[in-house]
């Protein structure tokens, strides 16, 4: 585009047509069709998820809002045991947003979709007045097909083991460090988790979640409340990187509440746990068994078993700890 910035005139008429054609060119073969007001599904889909992304900053160590929007929606679908096939893409831009930055974001979207064989089935673009929006918001809806028996909270059983596929808190710590201007030697773990679909095949995996907003502690609390079971994790088994610990200590944040964007929590039958760990390692993950599911109880809790043998309750957060991290 010869123009440098997005204007309100890109909401309609010739400028809107040029903007859409510019985006279509950048997205290339990931688009199914641009000729109709709706997209036509050519494959079977039975699962859907939707999400909106408002992250600040838009560009961060390890990714940008474009990569995050695709990875986030694809991963939500994968957590149910479904293969992602289609995605919708809606972009809302602030007047004055630079075309050069938009191009980088759209290119990130295209790369992630190409690598994962996911097609854009529908989309939309809007422009809002300067100051009415903070730079850019992206909404995606991902559709797919369940490959195995649906993974869901209701399948979790007493004595199941809790396995995490990688380090804790990288995304949340990277975003907070970028905002504060800290020099760090790590980056967000933002990535797709589609490899998990092959890893879990034939194993008694009961549920999976990616610990985004609220981190590990939030999703385990949600599991606990939904199943009416205590969940317990071991402090000395938690894979928290040194850089995440440092950022957390400086900001006074518990890393167990920091978001991950490329790590999954898997609830697995204990007899299949060792096989699962080996498969995860072979697939390039760095997994750890961090705890177990307790028995049914009237007032379920998430309990941290500390290194010195004490027990500490990890509650749900009352207030948002790290706003706009996705």
Q: Give tens-digit pLDDT for 159-208.
A: 999 999 999 999 999 999 999 999 999 999 999 999 999 999 999 999 99
Tokens of 96: 């004055």
pLDDT category at 153 given cuts 50, 70, 90 is very high
**pLDDT at 19 > cutoff 90:** no
Number of Cα atoms under 13 Å in the Cβ half of residue 276: 29
Specify the CATH architecture of the domain 8-146. Answer: 2-Layer Sandwich (3.30)
**pLDDT at 117 > cutoff 70:** yes
* Burial class, 108, CB count within 10 angstroms (exposed 0-12 / middle 13-18 / buried 19+): buried
Give one DSSP letter per residue of 203-271, joined into a string. S-EEEEE---TTHHHHHHHHHHHHHTEEEEEEGGG----HHHHHHHHHHT--GGGS--SS--EEEE-GG
Place of tokens 């690598």: 115
Tens digit of each residue's pLDDT (9 = 90 or more) over 306-321: 999 999 999 998 888 8
Domain ranges of the chain: 8-146, 153-313
Q: What angle, rounded to 10 degrees, do the helices at 65-78 and 99-116 form?
A: 30
pLDDT category at 99 given cuts 50, 70, 90 is very high
Tokens of 30: 């990931």
Tens digit of each residue's pLDDT (9 = 90 or more) over 122-134: 999 999 999 999 9
Can you list the positions of beta strands (E) in the chain? 47-53, 59-60, 63-64, 82-94, 119-128, 136-146, 161-164, 205-209, 229-234, 265-268, 288-296, 302-305, 311-313
Question: Considering only 35-49, 83-97, 151-165, 233-247, which range has the smallest mean pLDDT?
Answer: 35-49
Tens digit of each residue's pLDDT (9 = 90 or more) over 280-312: 999 999 999 999 999 999 999 999 999 999 999
For residue 1, the model assigns a pLDDT of 59
Q: How far is CA 53 from CA 56, 57, 192, 216, in A?
A: 9, 11, 16, 20
Q: Which CATH fold topology does 153-313 show? A: Phosphoribosyl-aminoimidazole Synthetase; Chain A, domain 2 (3.90.650)
For residue 9, the model assigns a pLDDT of 76
Q: One fold for both 8-146 and 153-313?
A: no
Distance between CA atoms of residues 318 and 316, nearest Å:
6
**pLDDT at 17 > cutoff 90:** no
Q: What percent of the chain has pLDDT over 90?
A: 83
């Amino acid at each position: 585009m010869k123009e440098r910035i997005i204007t309100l005139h890109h909401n309609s008429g010739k400028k809107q047509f040029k903007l859409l054609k510019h985006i279509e060119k950048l997205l290339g073969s990931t688009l199914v069709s641009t000729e109709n007001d709706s997209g036509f599904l050519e494959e079977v889909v039975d699962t859907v998820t939707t999400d909106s992304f408002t992250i600040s900053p838009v560009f961060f160590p390890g990714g940008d809002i474009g990569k995050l929007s695709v990875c986030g929606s694809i991963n939500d679908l994968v957590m149910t045991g479904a293969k992602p096939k289609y995605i919708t893409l809606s972009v809302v831009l602030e007047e004055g947003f630079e075309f050069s930055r938009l191009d980088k974001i759209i290119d990130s979207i295209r790369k992630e979709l190409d690598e994962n064989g996911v097609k854009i089935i529908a989309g939309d673009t809007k422009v809002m007045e300067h100051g009415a929006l903070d730079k850019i918001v992206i909404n995606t809806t991902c559709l797919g097909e369940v490959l195995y028996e649906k993974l869901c909270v209701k399948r979790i059983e007493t004595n199941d083991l809790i396995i995490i596929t990688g380090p804790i808190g990288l995304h949340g710590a990277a975003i907070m460090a970028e905002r504060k201007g800290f020099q760090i030697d790590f980056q967000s773990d933002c990535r797709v988790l589609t490899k998990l679909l092959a890893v879990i095949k034939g194993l008694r995996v009961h549920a999976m979640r990616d610990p985004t907003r609220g981190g590990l502690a939030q999703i385990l609390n949600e599991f606990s409340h939904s199943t009416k079971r205590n969940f317990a994790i071991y402090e000395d088994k938690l894979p928290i990187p040194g850089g995440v610990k440092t950022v957390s200590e400086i900001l006074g944040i518990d890393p167990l509440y920091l978001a991950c964007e490329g790590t999954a929590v898997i609830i697995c039958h204990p007899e299949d746990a060792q096989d699962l760990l080996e498969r995860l390692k072979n697939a390039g993950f760095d997994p750890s068994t961090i705890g177990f599911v307790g028995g049914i109880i009237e007032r379920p809790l998430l309990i941290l078993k500390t290194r010195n043998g004490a027990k500490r309750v990890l509650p749900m957060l009352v207030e948002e700890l790290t706003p706009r991290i996705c």
